[in-house]
Chains A and B, each alone.
Chain A
Amino acid sequence: MQSPRHTFDTQLHALEQRLLRMGSFVEEMLEDSVKALVDKDVSLAEEVIRRDDVADELDLDIETSCMHMLALQQPLSKDLRVIGTALKITTDLERIGDYSVDIAKTALELVSEPVIKPLVRIPQMAQATARMVRGALEAFVSRDPDKIEEVVRLDDEVDELNRQVWNMMIQEMQENPSTVSRAAHLILVARYLERIADHAVNVAERVQYMETGVLRQLASSHQML
């Protein structure tokens, strides 16, 4: 016979696996949305937009199993913190999916716009942001405080890149008014990436809470520029 504790541990493990699956799913959405933008790949952008339903479903699944575990197992201490954390993390991941969809939609808008300069900063930002999402999930699995710190450090990098994109686009718009639409869209994309990075920081914060029981803001204020 299996003990209730064993059943619960199995459920907790399954919950972690689901969160990881959802995490890598939205991380891929993020990477593909930026790839679609850079490559002007219409079908990839449409694909990302379609995946949003899957992300929403994963989110709902995770929330449902958290609620069931809360209701039936009434977890305490670390167990309670893990489930509370999962409930928060899944929302952050779902939002990362939403922003990826926003980026994919912007990619579709930009397909017809001429490319003036090849995109450099935005792919860099996307790379750093994806690393943050991955790092936050790795922190969740490994409970490794160094991973949490790395996420926070990368967030500063993303903020800085966002500032640079802003300045460059403003300059571009001033120099060449025909680029206004494209530049404005790219400012938005940078803004979406910066928001995704903030959600990754949220995840890292929750992992820290899960481990220590202390809820503390890791990044200073999340500035727009």
Chain B
Amino acid sequence: MPEQASLASRSATLMLPLENSKFEIRGLGVEYDGESALRDVTINLPKQQITALIGPSGCGKSTFLRCLNRMNDLIPSARMLGDIFMDGNSILSSNVDPVELRKRVGMVFQRPNPFPMTIFDNIAYGPRRHGVRSHSMLEQIVEETLKKSALWDEVKDKMRQPALDLSGGQQQRLCIARALAVQPDVLLMDEPSSALDPISTFKIEELMLELKEYYTIIIVTHNMYQASRVADYTGFFLLGELVEFGPTVEIFERPIDSRTDDYVRGRFG
């Protein structure tokens, strides 16, 4: 559990000790066509914990998330500044293969986006691409992954059916399973439940809490109650800046920066 600190003794952006960190982010900035979208972000993200990123639309949350697996490389106008270290090694240096990186840092998006193929093939897709050929091996991976994603009982009898026949909530958990099938260390989730009903949302949150035992999870959410329910640490972004980062309870019970206070109390706009 994150420790409690008093208002006076906590700095607005907490620096976690390196030994508990998965990512060290140093002076990170992103520009699109020379326009700054993210500025000078310096934090450590905790290992095998859930970190939530909150903030108003356009403040740079998705941009930040996309830096962590170099998805911004796919946007021609994007330019990154600063550096990011994962387990102590820079992930921005030119000798890092972004495809390999994305295998270790999986991503789940707002809209469930299963491939138009069977449930089985959706999960087997990643491992196949990374060279797993044996069918029994694939079967084993698919079963294990679906069990880990708490979806196995619901789909074990319809592995050959199209994934798109599943409900929205099931599709999203399938997407999480698909991301887990290539055995990543990190799971990035960009508003993973904003298109889902409360029960499916609850299942996703439950799943996150189970998964954090094995994975580092970073989630962008517009739902502050979701952040407060699942996240160990929360970061608040505003206009491309990281305004505050700390234990979730601190951010929601006694934020230091008045901009954080305004935002969590709904005093913006």
Show the binding face of A for B, using Cβ within 8 Å: 4-5, 8, 74-81, 212-214
Contacts and interface: CB of A to CB of B under 8 A. Distances in A.
B265 A76 contact: yes
Given A81-B254, A214-B6, A76 B224 contact: yes
B265 A77 contact: yes
A78 B261 contact: yes
B228 to A, nearest CB: 8
A77 B261 contact: yes
B166 to A, nearest CB: 31
Given A76-B224, A76-B252, A77-B261, A5 B266 contact: yes
Nearest to B268: A5
A212 B261 contact: no
B267 interface: yes
25 contacts: A5-B266, A8-B266, A74-B225, A76-B224, A76-B252, A76-B253, A76-B264, A76-B265, A77-B252, A77-B253, A77-B254, A77-B255, A77-B260, A77-B265, A78-B261, A78-B265, A79-B265, A80-B253, A81-B253, A81-B254, A213-B253, A213-B254, A214-B7, A214-B8, A214-B254
B266 A212 contact: no
A81 B250 CA distance: 12
B7 A212 contact: yes
Nearest to B6: A214
B7 A4 contact: no
Interface string B7-19: 1100000000000
Contacts of B266: 4-5, 8
B265 A75 contact: yes
Nearest to A214: B6
The interface size bin for chain B is 10 to 19
A77 B264 CA distance: 7
Report which residue of A8, A80, A81 has the largest number of chain B beta carbons within 10 angstroms of its beta carbon: A80
A4 B253 CA distance: 20
Nearest to B261: A77
Contacts, number: 39
Contacts of B224: 76
Contacts of B267: 5
Given A75-B265, A212-B254, A214-B254, 5 more contacts: A76-B264, A77-B255, A77-B264, A81-B254, A212-B6
Report which residue of A75, A77, A81, A212 has the largest number of chain B beta carbons within 10 angstroms of its beta carbon: A77
Which 6 pairs of residues, A with B, have the shortest CB-CB distance?
A213-B254, A76-B264, A214-B6, A76-B252, A77-B264, A77-B261
A209 B262 CA distance: 19
Contacts of B260: 77
A4 B266 CA distance: 9
A79 B225 CA distance: 15
Contacts of A5: 265-267
A80 B252 contact: yes
Contacts of B252: 76-77, 80
A85 to B, nearest CB: 12
Interface string B223-253: 0110010000000000000000000000011
A213 B7 CA distance: 7
A212 B261 CA distance: 13
A81 to B, nearest CB: 7
Nearest to A80: B253
A5 B263 CA distance: 11
A5 to B, nearest CB: 5
Nearest to A84: B253
Contacts of B228: 76
Interface string B92-123: 00000000000000000000000000000000
Nearest to A9: B267
Nearest to B254: A213
Report which residue of B253, B260, B261, B266 has the largest number of chain A beta carbons within 10 angstroms of its beta carbon: B266
Contacts of B253: 76-77, 80-81, 213
Contacts of B225: 74
Nearest to B267: A5
A213 B257 CA distance: 13
A79 B254 CA distance: 10
Contacts of A74: 225
Nearest to B255: A77
Contacts of A76: 224, 228, 252-253, 264-265
